[in-house]
Amino acid sequence: MGLLLVLVFIVVPIAELFVIIQVGELIGVWPTLLLLLLDAIVGSWLLKREGRAAWRRFNEALAERRMPGKEVADGFLVILGGALLIAPGFLTDILGVLLLIPVTRTVFRRILRRWTVGRVAVVSFPGAGGASWGGFGSGPRGGAGPGGTPKRSYDYDVDAEEVPDEPDRRLPPTED
């Protein structure tokens, strides 16, 4: 993880500065700045277009009552690609464009899936197409805890009760 942070915050900016200087020497300072501004504008437009498409596909998946895993990954990659395009620099712009183009985004989605498998738990709820509960408990509402003792519900909003207006405003004792 430390190596990744060094790469992102030290190596990439130095490489970006080097490329910007080289392009500036080749075509001039003003055309380079104009090119950086233009790719930020194009990146914003692409982010808006692809982001709307990803949002629409996400809502369609929900309407079809299926897990929107692909759509969530696409949304993440579109946001990342747009951020990379808006940030100044040519190297990040290349990666940002690749993340925004649907054909190349598929490759990055596969890489993202390989990286996240085993690190992310998926929970589906009854009525949402399945009844598996991942690693967050043995069943609905928490199931049994260690040693078979029942767990309390995690859904406190549904279990809340109104307390009548009385001089003594203490909550009733819990049943734990």
Query: At 103, which helix (H) or strand (E)?
Result: helix 102-116
- Is residue 169 in some structural domain? no
Provide the number of structural domains found in the chain: 1
Residue 14 amino acid letter? I
- pLDDT tens across 24-77, in order? 999 999 999 999 999 888 888 888 998 899 999 999 999 998 888 889 999 999
* SS3 category, 102: helix
Better-predicted residue by pLDDT, 117 or 147: 117
- Is residue 31 in some structural domain? yes
In angstroms, the CA 57 to CA 41 distance is 25
Q: Are 51 and 59 a contacting pair, CB within 8 Å?
A: no
Other CB atoms within 10 Å distance of the CB of residue 160: 8
- pLDDT tens across 77-122, in order? 999 998 898 888 999 999 999 998 889 999 999 998 888 877 766 6
Q: Are 53 and 61 a contacting pair, CB within 8 Å?
A: no
Residue 151 amino acid letter? K
Q: Which residue has the tokens 């598996």?
A: 132
- Is residue 147 in some structural domain? no
- Is residue 133 in some structural domain? no
